[in-house]
Structure 1
Amino acid sequence: MKQWKTGLVALIAGVGMAGVAQSAELDMHFQPLDKYRDLGRTVTEREDIQKALSAHFERLAAERLPAGQTLRIDLLEINRAGEMDFRRRLPDEIRVLREITWPQLEFSYVLLEGGRELRSGKASLSDMNYLHGSSARYNDGDPLRYEKPMIDKWFDTEFGRKAR
């Protein structure tokens, strides 16, 4: 009887573990946050943008890359869409979007599996047409709503489209 209970517990634990999906990992690195062209003006804003950018890359890696792989991203430069209107003072500053202030993102990446490099490169992303609808799937309050579609497109090109 004791062996039967032990076997049943092991079976239940095994079934429970089968439902836990493993996913790829993200290893994201930043320079000192004040070194970027346009990560944000205040320390708090730069930290918030850093967290949001990391979370977006992490979500994409988890959704699109096989378990056991690690995507290392080294953010080299970011120039967010638009530019700040500095005629106003904090907290009333606004970001002004114009045709000539498109978002740009530059990073290097390495895809690893078991410590072995599968692929690497440098990406320079920009979207000169950012004002014409590419951000429609992101909330208007999202501070990276113009940068995220560029990252999504890069993931599609580099690693394949997300299964729907």
Structure 2
Amino acid sequence: MFHLVLPSVVLALAVLVAAPVAHADVTVTYIAPERFRDREFRNSHKRALALAEFDREFEELGSRYLPDGSDLAVEVLDIDLAGDFEPWDFDYRDVRIMRETTPPRMHLRYVLSEGGRVLARDEVRITNMRYLSDPRANRLNGRFSHDMRLLGDWFRKTFFRPADRAAATPGT
């Protein structure tokens, strides 16, 4: 009997492993990034490096927070990175100085759909005025850590499903 069941189980597992998984698809379009408020985007080389980092972050956040089989189209209309350069201090003209008055800001337009049906659509301006006093700020590292934290917080607040909340909260 065992010899008859084993091939069936192996075949079933092979089908499950080979079955395509419907992951969320994230498409990001940067609208005139050379005109973004932040100076980082004025230089084409720096802009390409920065946008590649943002592309990776959008993909990672999409896989973490979006329902399988959904499509998210995001238009990034503006980015003002956390901190600013202070050109009058020649010793540090390439150093981004973080101040409470220079929080990360983004202007986004998005459409979330599934199977051609629009689930959500909005245009938002997001910022974190408390980015330096956030207790999580001390654990951040990376070139755009405050900006990625802002984006991650927005993703979590906007796309985190109630079923995910229950699974993430013990005892519910």
TM-score (norm 1): 0.81
Give the whole-Å Cα distance in 1 for the aligned partners of 2:131 and 2:49.
Answer: 22
**One-letter amino acid matched to 1:16:** V
Structure 2: where are the runs of 5+ without partners? 1-6
Quick check: 1:67 aligned with 2:68? yes
Q: Which amino acid in 2 is paired with 1:46?
A: R
Does the Cα contact within 8 Å between 2:33 and 2:78 map onto a contact in 1?
A: no
Equivalent in the alignment of 2:3: none
* Paired amino acid for 1:108: R
Would you tell me which structure has more helix in proportion to its own residues? Answer: 2
Tell me if the contact between 1:78 and 1:106 (Cα under 8 Å) persists in the aligned partners.
Answer: yes
User: Is 1:39–1:78's contact at 8 Å kept on the other side of the alignment?
Assistant: no
User: Match of 1:153?
Assistant: 153
Percent of aligned pairs with the same amino acid: 27
What are the ranges of 5 or more consecutive residues in structure 1 without an aligned counterpart?
1-5
Once residues 43 and 13 of structure 1 are traced to their aligned partners in structure 2, the CA distance between those partners, rounded to angstroms, is 47
Q: TM-score, normalised by structure 2?
A: 0.77
What is the letter of the counterpart of residue 87 of structure 2? Answer: F
Question: Who is 2:4 aligned against?
Answer: none
Structure 2 partner of 1:135: 137
After TM superposition, the structure 1 = structure 2 runs for residues 30-49 of structure 1, keeping only pairs within 5 Å, are 30-38=30-38, 40=40, 41-49=42-50
Q: Work out whether residues 39 and 49 of structure 1, in 8 Å CA contact, stay in contact via their aligned partners in 2.
A: no
What are the superposed Cα offsets for residues 92-138 of structure 1, whole Å, 9 maximum, x if unpaired? 61111112111111101100111111111011111111111343443
Secondary structure at 2:71 match in 1 = strand
**Distance change in 2, residues 1:149/1:8 (3 Å):** closer
**Taking structure 1 as reference, are residues 136 and 26 closer, same or farther at Cα in structure 2, changes over 3 Å only?**
farther
Aligned length: 156
Match in the other structure for 1:103: 104
Partner of 1:28: 28
Give the superposed CA RMSD: 2.7
Residue identity in the other structure for 1:36: F
Letter in 2 for 1:102: P
Once the two structures are TM-superposed, the CA of residue 154 in structure 1 deviates from its matched residue by 1.3
> Partner residue of 1:13?
14
Question: Structure 2: how far apart are the matches of 1:153 and 1:15?
Answer: 34
- The answer as to whether partners of 1:85 and 1:95 remain within 8 angstroms in 2 is yes
Shift of 1:21: 4.4
TM-aligned CA deviation for residue 144 of structure 1: 1.5
